[in-house]
Structures are given as structure tokens and as C-alpha cells.
Amino acid sequence: MAPGDAPIPARPAANEESLRPIAWSEAFLMGDPTIDAGHRNFIDNVNRLNAAIRDHADPAAIAAICDSLVADAAEHFASEEAVMSRQGFGGLPAHRREHRRLLTFIRGQAEQIRIAATRAEVVDGALAIKDGLLSHLFRVDIHYKTHFLEGRGR
């Protein structure tokens, strides 16, 4: 399976450990200011989502954060693909396919959240969105990071 075709991983149940804030790290930097700002914003929004779930926020508040994550992901993916194209990243077609697959998945989860009958269903959908996006950031984007940094002689 190509890196861009990675499946959405199985999701463990939410617990205090899985809902702890993610501290931004220099290790997350990709080397492009636009991409890095998008990733930092993404981590900030995931932390907001974790806090909302942990603090038993109203399902509508959780849904709103998820809608924001989905919209931000679509915008970020377009920006990321433009940078990859400018940099001549050979893995762009596979990465673009992964973006489309992930967007379809998280949009579907957001729709399920909007029609959910219980808070548990809202949380389950929210965790699916979070986990899909985190998996992409930490398991898929790393392939682009290597290319980008090698192109800058690092």
C-alpha cells in the first residue's frame, strides 16, 4: 500500500490520556511557513476539540468544532498541494488522492454528527475526525517533509 493510500486506523475509546492537549513541537515543522501555520492551527483546533469532549461540552459545540476542522482541512489540503506542486514533489498524485479520501471520510463523519441522536454518537464522530486528521499529519505528511527538507539541503 502506498503511503498516500493508508487506511483510517482503528480508533480506541476516548479516555483522559487520549484527550490530553497536544503540545506543539518544532518536530512538527515541515519547513514551509504556510503549511506549518496550517498544521499549528490544526493542532490548536484538535486541542479545542479534546477539551470540549473532556469537559462534556454541549454536542452542538463539539459539532461546530468538527465543522471548523473539516473546513480548515479542505483549505489546508489545497494550500499544501499547491506547495507540493511548486516543489516538484513526486508523491503529489498519491498525496492528493489521500486528501480526497480523507476529506470524504471526515465530511461523512461531520454529517453523521449533525444527525446524531446521542452525545456518544457525536463524540464518536468527533474522535473519528480527529484521529483521521492526526494520522494523516503524523503518518502521511512525513513523506513530504523529507522531500521538502532534502530540497533545502537539511
Q: How many domains does the chain have?
A: 1
* Mean pLDDT, residues 57-76: 96
**2 belongs to a structural domain:** no
Instruction: Tell me the residue range of the domain where 64 lies.
Output: 31-151
pLDDT(151) > 60: yes
**6 belongs to a structural domain:** no
pTM (predicted TM-score): 0.85
Answer yes or no: are the C-beta atoms of 30 and 141 closer than 8 Å: yes
**7 belongs to a structural domain:** no
**22 belongs to a structural domain:** no
**8 belongs to a structural domain:** no
The Cα–Cα gap between 138 and 60 comes to 28
Answer yes or no: are the C-beta atoms of 63 and 114 closer than 8 Å: yes
DSSP 39-76: HHHHHHHHHHHHHHHHTT--HHHHHHHHHHHHHHHHHH
pLDDT confidence of 8, banded at 50, 70, 90? very low
pLDDT in tens, 86-143: 988 899 999 999 999 999 999 999 999 999 999 999 999 999 999 999 999 989 888 7
